[in-house]
Structure 1
Amino acid sequence: MSVAALEVRGLEVRYGPVRAVRGVDLDVAPGGVTALLGANGAGKTTTLMAAAGARRFAAGSVTIFGRDMTGADPEAVVRAGVAISPEGRRVFASLSVEENLTVAGAVVPDRALARGRRAEMMERFPILGERRRQLAGLLSGGEQQMLAVARALMSGPRLLLLDEPSLGLAPRMVDRIFEIVEALRAEGIAVLLVEQNAALALEVADRAVVLANGAVAAAGTPAEIADDALLRSAYLAA
């Protein structure tokens, strides 16, 4: 039996007295895509950030590729093979495309390997190669999202945490982003996908978890989730 890329058990996150996430369990299989769905405020991003080591949690455990990473800081999580592409892209607007990738490559000890990965990102995302010297803040939203994903991939992750990649993008760019998710899975990179566009997320996912008010409302295959009329009407409106 293969070891899960990510295993979260009994996760509880508090903001003061408020329990924002309550007893969440989820798994991401090696080379698989798990979609984390739900309405705004359901706790999706908080769950993802806790798994990334970027949000303290009150209870629960996080295991990454068989290693107990409960309470680990973000740097340790990166070293364990995880990268995050955050909601809102958060590119370095005053740096060029190439400089964004160079900064991201600083986590790679081997300078030659980092340069090779930077070249690989330019090839994988041709628009970034074309605009390598352009300031990231001048890119379109879709181009910035591609840069955010490319920047995350610079560390050579085995698990990518991808938060709301389609937010605010034109339909053509949304399609391109989801093509990238499918390509990553084909390469054996596991993905935890937080996404408002539930229909598209269910098309690329192997498993799905639906959150409501910080707790798991449902979990199963995309077909099982999509066939539930109550879930569709309450939580999965795209």
Structure 2
Amino acid sequence: MVVLGVTLLLAATAAVTLTRAGDRAPVPTTGDGNRTSFAAGADERPRPSAYPRTGTGDFTTAPGDSPVRGTDGPLRYYRVAVEQGTDQDVAAFAATVDEVLGDPRSWIASEELRLRRVAEADDADFTVYLATPETSERMCAEGGLSTEGYTSCRLPGQVIINLARWLEAVPDYGAPLEIYRAYVVNHEVGHELGEEHQACPAPGEPAPVMQQQTYGLDGCVANAWPYVDGSRYDGELVPGT
């Protein structure tokens, strides 16, 4: 068992180093995965069903480049990779990430940012990973973030999406799985773009995309987009998260 644990840890560490050499060293940057306990308690976590808890620790990168998304601003390059052993198709995951980031309600709506997916690590500013709960937990922990295998997270140059959340979302989210998926991509990529956590403005209002919606909506309504009705939509900053 000790040998197996060391092997998995080394594999996850190798996966984290896939980001380009110019990325900053991983330091804690709060994503959804910065809390140390579940709101509902450990005994009430969703149980694994149709997904593996752990994979190989190695990642397959989506091939090819996407068109440039956005009309103006600096061009940021991202890569997409899926952990082997997840039974998830890397092309399908990449297509969803492309669709979310290329949506006119996403971050490109600022007209101060353009995005393009690339296949080569040396060309990428950041990588969007899809990883099993155990692998994502280890990867996030490399930067000092505690996810307990439940949430996704972001480290400098690394957007790490938890497979369980990708397939099951969270209890009582109140919106289809596709909305949660768009939310979690926009939320964690938002951190990569320098955004911080925000609070629910008022009960019944849309939740800001930088609200930690994985932990609950606090009376707000699920929302996946940083731009609502053509305008940037924000809540008050939440200090220290």
TM-score after normalising by structure 2: 0.29
Q: Which has the higher strand share?
A: 1
- With CA pairs under 8 Å and 6+ residues apart, which has the higher RCO, 1 or 2? 1
- Under a length normalisation based on structure 1, what TM-score does the superposition of the two structures give? 0.30
More helix by share: 1
